[in-house]
Amino acid sequence: MTIVTVLGFTAATLTSLSFFPQAIKVIKTRDTKSISLIMYSMFTLGVFLWLLYGFFSNSMPVLIANIVTLIPATVVLILKIKEGNKN
């Protein structure tokens, strides 16, 4: 495994897992006021399309990374729609 591949896996792990702390914070606080609905709508749709891209181009890393990211991103999107600009 080359240093460049390690760089790619580290980057994928960080960007995929980074949405879990945000989902946990929103679940705990129910505060979504400063979160952008437009961002999470665009981002969640984009991640879903990346997932399809990974599936149709037989790229397991892209498929798995985006399945992982889709979960917390969808949680934040749903809570943002539900909680709106309360708090």
Q: Are 50 and 66 in contact (CB under 8 A)?
A: yes
> From the list 64, 67, 78, 87, which residue makes contact with its own copies (rule: CB under 8 A)?
87
* Shortest spacing between CB 65 and its own copies, in angstroms: 11
Residue 76 burial by Cβ neighbours in a 10 Å radius (0-12, 13-18, 19+)? buried
Residue nearer to its own copies on the CB measure, 43 or 78: 43
Using CB under 8 A as the binding criterion, the count of chain residues that bind its own copies stands at: 40
* Shortest spacing between CB 31 and its own copies, in angstroms: 4
Q: State the Cα–Cα distance between residues 16 and 67, nearest whole angstrom.
A: 9
